[in-house]
């Protein structure tokens, strides 16, 4: 049983974790940087401890300070949230060494999924579909030429230590491959201190479809359906929804089963997400597994009725999943819009500053996960997510209309946001029909300047 939890994070996710703790009768302990003294998670927690100066490197990424604070505060466990130390196997291991429960999978599972090339190999062995490409990491450009010749152009070179769009390069024809190989290798060495690279056939304009899984410490693994996260730019997701509008029951079951096999292959525990590319012909391919709670988890909560953060806390406390696969039923549809302090007219440049007015939306089917209030000053040291607006409806059309209504109701003054852009997207014919892919937003932005 977990009685006290230290939350090694900030912003909306820290608030989200505090809420789950409260509902379970667990005492939440906050940590904060000197830039976050006025943050909501500090006010809402039972206790809060300063762990360093504003820069993330010296505070939310400072493992020693966080673990020392956890020991001093006599907590049983640490919840890392997302970002920061959430997928750092060294941190998960350090927690264990200090007798603290890390709320997440084992250090080994984090590490095995962290190396994207090793994960790819593991998935192939586990019978999870992967994109045709290299067997292991590539020896040299010659081997890359050979593999690319076999799978056909265009191809993608990817750094084993990359992920989330980092360290990858599209190669359209053989003439460019040698040069691209050495560039990608050098960048991988510089950025990740790991020069390993692998090659995949390029999947054109895929949908980004990810499957939520839950696994306990006793070998029970279930999936909770999928989220479509194709509305993104430069690998920043802006709008997500559940279920994916183009999946039928048959494909949903196949992807769900593949995600469960992926989790089982690394003895996964806790909440995790298996990310797939889905092509226009209904083929799906494993991309990576995120070994953390994700920003977009609420859309899954809304259609399954399952509280994922509570599930994380219960699993980490040693409880057995009382839920079986047949008990998971998807009901209705949910859409999430991320409200960032960013200016779409200036290439989504982050714009911290004073929140002059914040009136969140409400009413039927609307959920808001946020940490801001009128008078709060957004600091420049962290990511720019201020709030997530989630709309649920009995079907996708009701969710979409509720989201439009919510965006119309809310007032957020003082910093620029993409709210007006979202209003346009929600009325777009292709969005309305569910006919979109990862090329949708770049196309919309280029076609409509200034939106
Ligand atoms: C790809 C791809 C096409 N073919 N791999 C980007 C994030 C990372 N998780 C994988 N990514 C991609 N990998 C092959 N073999 C296209 C992308 C991609 C993408 C994927 C998901 C969502 C948005 C994207 C935007 C551009 C490229």
CA atoms within 13 A on the CB side of 30: 27
Query: Domain 207-447 has what CATH class?
Result: alpha beta
Q: pLDDT category, 54, cuts 50, 70, 90?
A: very high
Q: Do domains 4-103 and 207-447 have the same CATH topology?
A: no
How many C-beta atoms lie closer than 10 Å to residue 185's C-beta? 20
Ligand 1, atom 16, lies closest to the CA of 203
Structure tokens that stand for 216 in this block: 């306990």
Tell me the pLDDT tens digit for each residue of 234-268: 999 999 999 999 999 999 999 999 999 999 999 99
Q: Computed over its alpha carbons, how large is the radius of gyration of the chain?
A: 22
Of 292, 338, 396, 400, catalytic? 292
302, 143, 325: which is closest to 223 by C-alpha?
325
How far apart are the CA of 234 and the centre of ligand 1, in A?
10
104, 306, 107: which is closest to 222 by C-alpha?
306
Pocket of ligand 1 (CB under 6 A): 131, 156, 164-165, 200-203, 206, 208, 232, 235, 275, 277, 287-288, 438
Domain definitions of the chain by residue range: 4-103, 132-201, 207-447
Whole-Å CA distances, 99 to 36, 93, 109, 284, 327: 28, 10, 19, 40, 34
Average pLDDT taken over every residue of the chain: 97
How far apart are the CA of 202 and the centre of ligand 1, in A?
9
Give the CA-trace dihedral at 333, 239, 436, 116, to 10 degrees. -110
H/E run at residue 256 = helix 249-265
DSSP secondary structure of 202-254: PPSS-EEEEEEEEE-TTS-EEEEEEEEEEEEETTEEEEEEES-TT--HHHHHH
Q: Which of 151, 277, 280, 288 to mutate to test the pocket of ligand 1 (most atoms within 8 A of CB)?
A: 277
How far apart are the CA of 347 and the centre of ligand 1, in A?
20
This prediction has a pTM of 0.97
Is 205 labeled as catalytic in the residue annotation?
no
Q: pLDDT category, 446, cuts 50, 70, 90?
A: confident
CATH code assigned to 132-201: 3.30.1490.20
The stretch 330-350 carries a mean pLDDT of 98
How far apart are the CA of 103 and the centre of ligand 1, in A?
29
The stretch 184-194 carries a mean pLDDT of 96
How far apart are the CA of 165 and the centre of ligand 1, in A?
6
The minimum-distance atom of ligand 1 relative to the CA of 288 is 9
Alpha carbons 85 and 224: distance in angstroms, whole number: 25
Ligand 1, atom 6, lies closest to the CA of 165
Tell me the pLDDT tens digit for each residue of 303-312: 999 999 999 9
The minimum-distance atom of ligand 1 relative to the CA of 133 is 15
Given a cut of 60, is residue 451 above it in pLDDT? Answer: no
216, 171, 168, 212: which is closest to 192 by C-alpha?
168
> Would you state the pLDDT for residue 128?
98
* Rounded percentage of the chain residues whose pLDDT exceeds 90: 97
CATH architecture of 4-103: 3-Layer(aba) Sandwich (3.40)
Alpha carbons 359 and 419: distance in angstroms, whole number: 13
Handedness of CA 103, 108, 112, 115 (dihedral sign): positive
């Amino acid at each position: 049983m977990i009685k006290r939890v230290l939350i090694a994070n900030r912003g909306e996710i820290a608030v989200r974790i505090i809420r789950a703790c409260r509902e379970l009768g667990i005492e939440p302990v906050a940590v904060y940087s000197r830039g976050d003294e006025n943050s909501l998670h500090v006010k809402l927690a039972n206790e809060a401890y300063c762990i360093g100066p504003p820069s993330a490197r010296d505070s939310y990424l400072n493992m020693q300070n966080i673990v020392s604070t956890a020991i001093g505060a006599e907590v049983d466990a640490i919840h890392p949230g997302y970002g920061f130390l959430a997928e750092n196997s060294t941190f998960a291991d350090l927690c264990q060494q200090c007798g603290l429960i890390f709320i997440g999978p084992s250090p080994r599972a984090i590490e095995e999924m962290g190396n994207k090339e090793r994960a790819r190999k593991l998935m192939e062995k586990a019978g999870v579909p992967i994109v045709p490409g290299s067997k292991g990491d590539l020896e040299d450009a010659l081997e890359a030429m050979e593999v690319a010749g076999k799978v056909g152009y265009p191809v993608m070179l990817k750094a084993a230590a990359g992920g989330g769009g980092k360290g990858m390069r599209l190669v359209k024809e053989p003439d460019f491959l040698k040069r691209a190989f050495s560039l990608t290798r050098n960048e991988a060495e510089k950025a990740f201190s790991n020069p390993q690279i692998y090659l995949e056939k390029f999947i054109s304009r895929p949908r980004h479809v990810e499957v939520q899984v839950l696994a306990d410490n006793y070998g029970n693994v279930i999936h909770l359906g999928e989220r479509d996260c194709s509305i993104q730019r430069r690998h920043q997701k802006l709008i997500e929804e559940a279920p994916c509008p183009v999946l039928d029951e048959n494909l949903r079951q196949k992807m769900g089963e593949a995600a469960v096999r992926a989790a089982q292959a690394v003895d996964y525990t806790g909440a995790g997400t298996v990310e797939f590319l889905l092509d226009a012909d209904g083929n799906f391919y494993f991309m990576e597994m995120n070994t953390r709670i994700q920003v977009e988890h609420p859309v899954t909560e809304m259609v399954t009725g399952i509280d994922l953060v509570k599930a994380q806390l219960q699993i980490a406390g040693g409880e057995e999943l009382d839920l079986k696969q047949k008990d998971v039923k998807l009901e209705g549809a949910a859409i999430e819009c991320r409200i960032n302090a960013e200016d779409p007219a200036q290439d989504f440049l982050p714009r911290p500053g004073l929140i002059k007015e914040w009136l969140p939306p409400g009413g039927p089917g609307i959920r808001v996960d946020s940490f801001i209030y009128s008078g709060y000053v957004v600091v420049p040291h962290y990511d720019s997510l201020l709030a997530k607006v989630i709309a649920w409806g009995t079907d996708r059309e009701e969710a979409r209309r509720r989201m439009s209504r919510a965006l119309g109701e809310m007032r957020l003054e003082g910093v620029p946001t993409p709210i007006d852009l979202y209003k346009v997207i929600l009325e777009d014919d292709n969005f309305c029909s569910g006919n979109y892919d990862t090329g949708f937003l770049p196309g919309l932005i280029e076609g409509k300047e200034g939106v």
